[in-house]
Chain A
Amino acid sequence: MKNRLPQIFFLLSFISLILLLWAIRQASTPSWKSYQRAFLQLEAQGEPNAAAKAAVLSTPLHIHQVMLTGLQRVDRCTTCHLGVDDPTMKNAPEPFRYHQGLGPHIASKFGCTICHGGQGLATTKGDAHGNVQFWDKPLLAREYIRASCGRCHKEGEVPGVPELTAGRHLFETQGCRGCHKLNGVGGSIGPDLSEEGASRRSPEWLERHFLAPNQVSAGSAMPNYHFSREQARDLTYYMLSLTSEDMGSYYSSVRLIPSAEYGRELFTQKNCIVCHSVGGAGAKAAPDLLGVTQRHSSEWLDEQLVNPQYVYPGSTMPEYDLETNARKALIAYMGTATSDDAQAILSHHTRPVSPGDVSIEAGKEEFARVGCAGCHGRELEGGLPNPNAQGGQVPSLLHISDDYTKDEILAIVRNGRAPPLENAKGPTPPLYMPAWKNVLSEEDIHQVVDFLWSRQQKAKDSW
């Protein structure tokens, strides 16, 4: 009780003062300030005289940020990466080096994290680069950064990123949608992939997973498709680009890049060669397209594609309902099209003729698009392992007409089916036939079954 009390009180007050000063010191010496000082030193080196050097060195330090409302993000990366848009910093050490080859993707319009990943709001290296707890999107490794192009350029060819186009093509033709949903379309056996590029999964993980799904995640129902390393890389690129983030109108206007390559693809797809010719190669029902871009302005051509009747009343050219960039791509292709190229397109050209064939062809497309091929095989051969299902694998569809009537098959496609068990006491087989009636229209289902039946005939004929 003897009066020690004031001493203890003042000691504690002193300690709390020290703690406060410590906190203030910690708060006033953030790491970005040292980066900015180092950058100013670097800039000052290039100044001719002491006064200019001093002026540079006395530049106030502050946080730089790019507000990207369209991309719903704020990037503070340029607080440390101070030279990204300064070509004189081409040979500067990181983090100050100039970012080459950005093209139209300037930092002030796009920021950094949309391509690179990382945490834009953070101002310390660890947090910004995102390899921290509670941050889903760490920096992408150098070789995968180009996958981010697919975040905005969601369709068509992306120049310089063939992996993305190849990955997308694989996804749509291998029948991945049979199990996986993407943007609302697809099965529900595997996980929805619409947010795959936004979830914390490393590219390395994805790639290993495509090569051997079961080794990466035990008990996965996903079969091994024996992809090559390149295919696994392509699919990984595509997966990394998948996000349903809402991009602003400026960014989504380039979801399709109007390249001549894509124009050629459209030209082939839309069968332009059935009416038109290029330099004499092709049909003669419509004008020859060689040099058409010199004869007409691109505005005129665009109008012709939008509304042929308006330009030439009585024209037999159909309206194709193409989006702006698709029209631009077609016009770009017409600028480069040659008769040799048209000949090449013609030589690959096969087209169904009878109405029945059209339905079968549509069924075939549907079969691939919604992903039946993923399990039953593109040639209906089946054979994917499905433990404890009868026969231990997904059934082939080449001989279903022996065992089922067309109505029975229609019912199975509509309502789905659990595979009959090999061993009644064994585990449930991982793969099953989903119900398609909510995904496909009745017409689609009929087309798919028509396609299946057309192959039945063939199988029998071949005997």
Chain B
Amino acid sequence: MKFFTDIWRSIFRGESLSTDKGKSELVFLNVWLHIHPAKVKKEHMRFKHTFYLGFITFFLFVILVTTGIALMCYYRPSTSQAYQDMKDLQFVVFLGPYLRAMHRWAAHGMVVCVFLHMCRVFYTGSYKRPRQFNWVVGVLLLLLTLGLSFTGYLLPWDQLAFWAITVGTNIGSYAPLVGGQLRELLLGGHSVGEGALLRFYVLHVAVLPSIVILLTIVHFWRVRKDGGLSRPIWKLKGRQPEQELVTIGAPAQPALRATAVSTSKTYGLMEVVTGKPIFETIAPDEEDDAVFAHPYAFFREAIALMATVTTIMATSLFFRAPLEELANPAKTPNPAKAPWYFLGLQELVSHSAFIGGVVAPALMVVALLAIPYFDRNPSRRPSDRKWAIGLFTVFVAANIALIIVGTFFRGPGWAFVPPWVHVVTGAE
């Protein structure tokens, strides 16, 4: 018996979870959990502060990696085999259609959640000092998510895939000087073909996921190092703007004094050292607001995980991923549409290829990246940020409106056709 106890104890070395020390050690000693602090503020766990959108995005990514690896076992990235492999997944592979559907819905869900997560962070002003760079990392992750979704779009090699990518890469070729070459580099040729399929596959299963994983690690690490989550805005009442910021780690801030220690709390070396501590501490007057990460935070996160998984599983059970006809370069659907998240862009392109396809998206990305550096207003209170919130809301609303117009209101020849009017396409 002792033999097995020894093995068990060698794996799980912390004390019993009933003690405070045990609860802390569960966090400290575990490679996966130690990204958490041992104690978390109650306010951070409130659903209405974050809607857990960051976690949900991450969990969707985990689902995508899992189902993606399973799908890779059945897929060969060549134009003569890809479509047949998709048909095999649809008709022969055990749970094949289910896997595909989960992968598809999780991918769409991730694009949506990453965008909503960005909106949440903006509206709560959580990109402000010291979190500026983490916002930049976040925007990069948004772009990578779009890239992953876009590269995955081509792989089924059906009509939808072929023409969405043809349209999507054509938009890219409007960039001055390098546009054409960029498109050629991406496609490995002048048109979407064997070369493009292989390149998109490599990007989709190796290159982009690796970068996403690396940046996600940075993103998480910085959340922790920037003092955990930002303070919910409803907690900001009656404070000075300076106090709203997490002061730690920010240059030119007075160092925390190590004198406020409570006798019942163990402090890390970093916190005792004078100068500029990196960790956020929980000030003694906030001790009552904090609880141990185990079980309060972990169970909430686990619930977010299970809710995400359950939603995707249920959706996939009832709504299967469609598969159109085999890609046919000679048969252009009218209208040929890009993936839905690029339809706003396509809508802009339909008005002006250069302004809509190059200038507007480039400005959008630059503006998003620059937000934390241009917005010098230290206050996070919505009442102090009317202009910023107004502008960002216009940006979000314009994006959504353009996507809705592109998706539902554009018919053959990109003519304005309301969705309730039925147009017979390709009529002889």
Using CB atoms and an 8 Å cutoff, list the residues of chain A in contact with chain B.
Answer: 1, 3, 5-6, 8-9, 12-13, 15-16, 19-20, 22-24, 26-28, 63, 74, 76, 121-124, 127, 133-136, 191, 209, 216-218, 220
Contacts and interface: CB of A to CB of B under 8 A. Distances in A.
Contact-residue size bin, chain B (C-beta under 8 Å from the other chain): 20 to 34
Contacts of B324: 134
A23 B98 contact: yes
10 contacts: A5-B300, A13-B306, A16-B310, A20-B313, A23-B98, A27-B97, A121-B84, A122-B91, A134-B323, A218-B427
Contacts of A1: 42, 296
Contacts of B316: 23
Contact of B313 (A23, A26, A124, A220): A23
A63 B306 contact: no
A16 B309 contact: yes
A74 B91 CA distance: 13
A24 B95 contact: yes
Given A1-B42, A16-B306, A136-B325, A191 B428 contact: yes
Given A13-B306, A23-B98, A6 B87 contact: no
Given A74-B84, A134-B324, 5 more contacts: A6-B295, A16-B313, A23-B98, A123-B92, A124-B91
A220 B295 CA distance: 72
A121 B87 contact: yes
B1 to A, nearest CB: 28
B73 to A, nearest CB: 16
Interface string B311-328: 001101100001111000
Contacts of A220: 428
Contact of A23 (B300, B307, B317, B322): B317
Given A5-B296, A9-B306, A121-B88, A134 B322 contact: yes
Contacts of A76: 91-92
Contacts of A5: 295-296, 299-300, 303
**4 residue pairs, one from A and one from B, having the closest CB atoms:** A217-B428, A12-B306, A5-B299, A121-B87
Contacts of A6: 295, 299
B91 A127 contact: yes
Given A5-B295, A121-B87, A122-B91, A12 B322 contact: no
B91 A123 contact: yes
Contacts of A16: 306, 309-310, 313
Contacts of B98: 23, 26-27
Interface string B388-409: 0000000000000000000000
Interface string B69-103: 00000000000000010011011101111100000
Nearest to A19: B313
Contacts, number: 76
A23 B95 contact: yes
B202 interface: no
B302 interface: yes
Which residue, of A6, A19, A26, has the highest number of chain B Cβ atoms within 10 A? A19
Contacts of B90: 122
A28 B95 CA distance: 8
A220 to B, nearest CB: 6
A12 to B, nearest CB: 4
Contacts of B309: 16
Nearest to B324: A134
Contacts of A9: 299, 302-303, 306
B91 A121 contact: yes
A116 B94 CA distance: 28
A309 to B, nearest CB: 46
Which residue, of A16, A20, A22, has the highest number of chain B Cβ atoms within 10 A? A16
A460 to B, nearest CB: 42
A19 B317 contact: yes
B33 to A, nearest CB: 16
A9 B92 CA distance: 34
Interface in B279-306: 295-296, 299-300, 302-303, 306
Which residue, of B42, B90, B310, B323, has the highest number of chain A Cβ atoms within 10 A? B310
Which residue, of B88, B91, B295, has the highest number of chain A Cβ atoms within 10 A? B91
Contacts of A20: 313
Nearest to A65: B92
A252 to B, nearest CB: 20
A404 B225 CA distance: 91
Which residue, of A8, A23, A74, has the highest number of chain B Cβ atoms within 10 A? A23
Nearest to A123: B91
Contacts of A191: 428
Nearest to A209: B428
A76 B94 CA distance: 16
Which residue, of A5, A22, A28, A74, has the highest number of chain B Cβ atoms within 10 A? A5
Nearest to B88: A121
A107 to B, nearest CB: 19
Interface in B150-180: 158-159
Contacts of A15: 310
A312 to B, nearest CB: 50
Nearest to B160: A134
Nearest to B300: A5
Contacts of A122: 87, 90-91
A83 B19 CA distance: 71
A19 B310 contact: yes
A324 B331 CA distance: 36
Contacts of B97: 27
A135 B90 CA distance: 14
A90 to B, nearest CB: 29
Contacts of B313: 16, 19-20, 23
A28 B94 contact: yes
A132 to B, nearest CB: 10
Nearest to A200: B325
B361 to A, nearest CB: 31
B317 A22 contact: yes
A19 B91 contact: no
A5 B323 CA distance: 40
A203 to B, nearest CB: 15
Nearest to B93: A27
A193 to B, nearest CB: 12
A15 B428 CA distance: 51
Contacts of A218: 427
A23 B325 CA distance: 26
Contacts of A8: 303
Contact of B92 (A13, A24, A63, A135): A63
Nearest to A13: B306
A135 B306 CA distance: 37
A20 B42 CA distance: 34
A22 B318 CA distance: 11
Contacts of A135: 325
Contacts of B159: 134
A417 B11 CA distance: 88
A43 to B, nearest CB: 24
B306 to A, nearest CB: 4
